[in-house]
Amino acid sequence: MFRKFVTMLAAIVGLTGFASEAHAATTTIKISTLAPPDSPWGHEFKRWASDVSKDTNGELQLDFQWNGQAGDEVLMVQKVRSGQLDGAAVSAFGLAQTGVTDMLIFNAPGIFSSWSQLDSVRDALKDDLNKQFEAKGFTVLGWSDAGAAKAMSIGFEAHRPTDLQGKGVFFSAGDPIQPVLFSTIGGLTPKMLTIGEIFPALTNVSVNFLTVPPLVAEELQWASRISHICTETVSFYIGALVVSSARLRALAPNLRDAMATRGAEMSTRLTRSIRNLDAKAFVRLKASKVAYHMSDADRKAWTDVFAKVNRQLRGTVVSPALFDRVMQLAAGPGQRAE
C-alpha cells in the first residue's frame, strides 16, 4: 500500500512538473531587418533564433520581420525607441538614427581602403561607441558587414565625378552624406527613394547609378538591372544588431545571456561569411557586366571630391574629435589596401 502511494505521489509530482514546464511563460523579442529570409543574413538570423530557443528551452523566441516589413531603417529605429519593436538589424546609416551620428564616419567616402583598416579603426572605437549607444537607450548585440561597395550603372562608365552629371542618382530619407556628395559634384538632381522604390527606378531607368556591395545588389535583385561595374571599392558597408537596452534588462538573466552570447557568435559568423560571399558576388558581376578600371587621374578626381565632402561632414555630421581620431587611426602603421 505504501509503495502504491509513493508511486502515485511520484507520478503526480512528475505530471505537475511537466505541466509547469509546458506552461512556462514564453517571451518574444521582435526584430526587424531589410534582409530577405533566404539571404545569407536571414539564414544566420534564423540560426540565432533557433540557438536561443534551444538554450532557453523555448522560453525566449526571436521573431524576425523580414524585407523591411516594419519600414525603412529610420522607421525601424523609431519603433525600437517607442517599444513597437525590440531590436533591428541596420546599417551604419540606421545606427545613426539612434542619435549616435558618429557612426556615419563609416559611411564617409574614401576613408577606408581595406577591411583590415576598417577593422582596426572599429575595434579601437568599439567601447566608446557602445557607451554612446547605451546612453541613447540601445545595446549593440553584434557588429556585422554588408560588403565592399562598388559603383554600378546602367549604360555608362563612371570614371570621374563629372561623369555623373545629368544622370539619375538617389539617396535615402535622412541620409546626410549622399546629398553633400552630389552637391559637391554638381549638375545632379538626386531623388529620395526608399529601399522598395529602388528596383522599379532601376527598371524604368529613372535611376541609372548606385553604389552598393555586389552581394546586396544580387540579394535585392538590383544586379539584374545594371550593365556596368567599376572594380574600385568606394566604401565598406557595415552595420549592427541593436536592441532596446530597457527591453534587454527586463529579461531574466539566463534569457539575456543566451541572447547576447548567441548574438555575438552570429556576428562572428556573419563577418566571415558576408565578406567571402560579397567577394564571390563581385567575381560574378565582373563576368556578367561591363567591368572597368580607374586610372590614376580618375582616382585623384574622386579623392579630391571625397576630401571636400568629408571636410563638410566634420563637425556637422561627425564630431570633430571622433573624426580626427578616425583619420589618425586610418593612417596608422600596418594598414594595407585590398
Integer Cα distance of 185 and 267 in angstroms: 36
Q: Residue 170 has what DSSP assignment?
A: E
The pLDDT assigned to 148 comes to 96
Bridge-based pairing of strands 209-212 and 138-153 is antiparallel
- The band of 1, judged by pLDDT with boundaries at 50, 70 and 90, is very low
Per-residue pLDDT reduced to its tens digit, 170-202: 998 778 999 999 999 999 999 999 888 999 999
Integer Cα distance of 213 and 149 in angstroms = 4
- pLDDT at position 209 is 98
Residues 6+ away with beta carbon under 8 Å from 88? 31, 32, 33, 70, 73, 76, 77, 79, 80, 94, 241, 242
pLDDT digits (tens, 9 = 90+) for 95-148: 999 999 999 999 999 999 999 999 999 999 999 999 999 999 999 999 989 999
Reference 141, options 275, 32, 272, 266; nearest CA is: 266
Whole-number percent of the chain with pLDDT over 70: 91
Domains of the chain plus CATH, in order, are: 26-330 (3.40.190.170)
β-strand pairing of 191-192 with 170-171:
parallel
* Mean pLDDT value of segment 282-307: 97
> Look-up: residue for cell 538589424?
89
Q: Which residue has the cell 565632402?
A: 309
Q: How far is the C-alpha of 39 from the C-alpha of 41, rounded, in Å? A: 5
Q: In the predicted model, is pLDDT for residue 16 greater than 80?
A: no
277 falls in which pLDDT band (50, 70, 90)?
very high
55-79 per-position pLDDT tens digit: 999 999 999 999 999 999 999 999 9
What is the pLDDT at residue 2?
40
State yes or no: pLDDT of 290 exceeds 60: yes
Q: Does position 15 have pLDDT exceeding 80, yes or no?
A: no
The span from the CA of 157 to the CA of 105, in Å, is 27
pLDDT at 337 over 50: no
Q: What is the pLDDT of residue 25?
A: 87
Which pTM was predicted?
A: 0.85
When pLDDT is averaged across residues 5-18 and rounded to a whole number, the result is: 42
Percent of the chain beyond pLDDT 90?
Answer: 86
Q: Between 25 and 201, whose confidence is greater?
A: 201
Task: Share the mean pLDDT of the chain.
Answer: 91
Q: Over the stretch 119-130, which tens digit does the pLDDT of each residue have?
A: 999 999 999 999
Residue 21 pLDDT more than 90?
no
pLDDT given for residue 39 in this prediction: 92
CB 141 within 8 A of CB 267: yes
Q: What is the pLDDT of residue 333?
A: 55
Q: Which residues contact 319 (CB under 8 A, 6 or more apart)?
A: 101, 102
- Residue 302: which of 104, 91, 93, 111 has the closest Cα? 111
The predicted pLDDT at position 24 comes to 60
